[in-house]
Structure 1
C-alpha cells in the first residue's frame, strides 16, 4: 500500500489545476477564488477542419469513469492516420477545458484527446462551499495522482483498440498537461517514483514526447533530479515569470517550474518563459494574466507547441529556432536544443 503522497497538495485558481508543492516559511498563501460559472474561451487563431466527439468510457476493473473529448482532424476522417496528443487537465478541470489548444492542434492535423479525471475534476467545486478545501486536498492525494496516470493509459487503450484506431498513428503520440496535468504527463513519460525501494511502473512506452505546462515540483521526494532524470523523451516546458501557485497551507514560486525543467532528462528539452502571465493564463479563461497579454500568450503557446511537434515528428527544428523572433516581446527566457 502506498503510505504517502507523491507530493504535497498545491492548488491554483479555478479550472487551472493543482500540483504538488509545499508551503515555504514566511509565506501567507491566498485562498482560492470561486470557480466562474462559465469560463470564456478566447479564439486566437483561425480554426477549421476538425470535428469534436465526446466519449463516456468506464474502466471496469477500477470502477472509474474516464470521460474524454476527442478533437479529430478531418484528414483523419478521410482515412489518413494522424498524430495524437493526450491532454491532462489541472485540478478542478474537465474534458471541455484547454479547448484553445485542442481546437488549434486539430485544425493543424493533430488529434487531441482531452481526459477528465473524475477524482480531481470539476466535481471538487460542487457541494457545500465550506468543504471545498477538503475536497481539493482529497483530490491531491497520492492515490488520485496515480489514478490519473492510469486514466491516461486506459484512454489510449480505448482509442487505439476501438473503431477510430485506424485514424490514429500509434507511433506518433504525445502526452501533454497543465499544472496537476503536467505532473500526470511527467509520470506517464517516465518520471521515476519509488515506494519501499521499488519503482512504481507508470511509464507508457507509446508516448514519444511531452508538453509540460506550469509543472509543479515533486515535493516530498528525496531528489527531483532522481525522479525526473529518468525521462528519456523530448519535452517542451512552458511557464511564465508570474506563474505562482497559492492556496491555504501551500505555496510554489515560479522558480519551481524552472527546477522541473532543469531536472528533466531526455535528449531534447525546450523551455519557454513568458514575461508576466500567471499560472492560469494557460487555461481557457480569458481574463487571467492581463486582458491584452492573455490572448497573445495563448497564440504564442499554440505556435510553440506546433513547432515542437514538428521537431519531434518531422525532424524540422527550424520553427523552434525562429519562434522567439515572432514572439520575442512576450518572452523572458527561451532555451532550445538547436538542430
Structure 2
C-alpha cells in the first residue's frame, strides 16, 4: 500500500446493500477507497448512536485517501430508521450492530464489486475496525471484550478473529453504581469486561468528556486502556469532549468542542496506528507518538 503525504483521490459509493436475512431494515453500507493502489487493507467503521453511513467523513475520507478501503454500515439505531427506546427491537440493537459488522466481513466481495475499479485491489486478510461512542462498544466486542450479565457472569464471546486490530474512540467504560438509571435500563452493553480484549487496540479519549450516562468523569472513557491487555496505547486529547473535536462531521449539532486542528491531529494519529498494525515493518505509529510528545493538543501513553 502506498500513499502520498497529501493523500490520493477517493471514490465513495453508497448505498451498497448487503444480504441480511431477517433484519428489520436492509443493511446498507458506504464503501470508500483510493482510486489508485493495490493490496489495500480494510477498515470497518461503526457509527455512534443515531448516525448512518453518511457520517464521520472527516475520518473515513481521510483514511481512504491514505490507502485504506473504508466500509461504513448504517446500524438499526440510525435516526433514519426511527426506532425509539420503547420499541421492542431496541434492546437487541447492540448485538445486531455486532452482527452488522460481521456481515460486512462476510460480504467484502460485494463491497469491492460495488466500487468501479476496485476489483482485485483489496487485501481481505488485513482488516481493522474502528468505532465512536456506541460504535466503539460494537468494535470492542469484535476485538474480544465481553458484556457482563445481570448476575455478574461474563457473557458470550462475540469477537471475530478476522478483525486483527481496532480503534476505540470515546468508548464508555465499566458499569456499576455510577451508571445513571436511564443507562442501566436501556443500555445493557454498558457493563463490559475488558479482560478478554486481547487484540491490539488504540483507545482515544477526551479529557473533557463528561457522559450523561455516568457520574464518573472523563477517566471513564479510558477504562478499555486501563483494564484490557490488548489496548496498549491511549491518546488523550486535551479539551476534547465526546465528539473529539468534530469527527462525526464538520459543524454538526452534536459537536460541542469544534476544533478542526484536533480532528486533523486525530486523522494522522489514527492513520499512523492503522498503518503500523496492518502493514509489515511500517513505523508510522512510533513516529506519530514521538511527534505528539509535549504537544498542547494531547498526549500518548503506551504500556511497556
TM-score, normalization: structure 2? 0.79
Match of 2:17 among 56, 64, 67: 56
The match for 1:110 is 68
Shift of 1:283: 2.0
Task: Report the CA distance between 1:286 and its aligned residue.
Answer: 3.0
User: Distance in 1 between the 2:86 and 2:227 partners?
Assistant: 26
Counterpart contact for 2:108–2:124, Cα < 8 Å: no
Which whole-Å CA distance do the structure 2 matches of 1:140 and 1:329 have between them?
Answer: 45
Q: C-alpha deviations, 1:96-128, integer Å up to 9, x for none?
A: 11111111111110111111102x11237x5xx
1:264-303 alignment, distance < 5 Å = 264-266=228-230, 269-280=232-243, 281=245, 282-286=247-251, 288-291=255-258, 294-303=259-268
Alignment equivalent of 2:175, drawn from 202, 219, 231: 219
Query: Which structure 2 residue ranges, 5 or more long, are not aligned?
Result: 114-118, 177-183, 185-189
The structure whose RCO (Cα within 8 Å, separation 6+) is larger is 1
Give unpaired runs (5+ residues) of structure 1. 1-44, 127-133
1:69 paired to 2:30: yes
Cα distance, 1:190 vs. partner? 0.9
* CA drift at 1:137: 6.6
Aligned to 1:258: 222
| Contact 1:230 1:264 (C-alpha < 8 Å) held by counterparts | yes
Q: What's 2:295 paired with? A: 329
Is contact 1:83-1:173 (8 Å) kept?
A: yes
TM-score (norm 1): 0.72
- The equivalent of 1:22 in structure 2 is none
Q: Which residue of 2 aligns with 1:96?
A: 54
Q: Which residue of 2 aligns with 1:42?
A: none
Would the aligned equivalents of 1:321 and 1:336 in 2 still touch at CA under 8 Å?
no
State the superposition RMSD in angstroms.
Answer: 3.1
More helix as a share of residues: 1
Q: Distance in 2 between the 1:315 and 1:236 partners?
A: 18
Q: What is the DSSP-based 3-state SS (H/G/I as helix, E as strand, rest coil) of the residue aligned with 1:169?
A: strand
Matched, 1:246 2:246: no
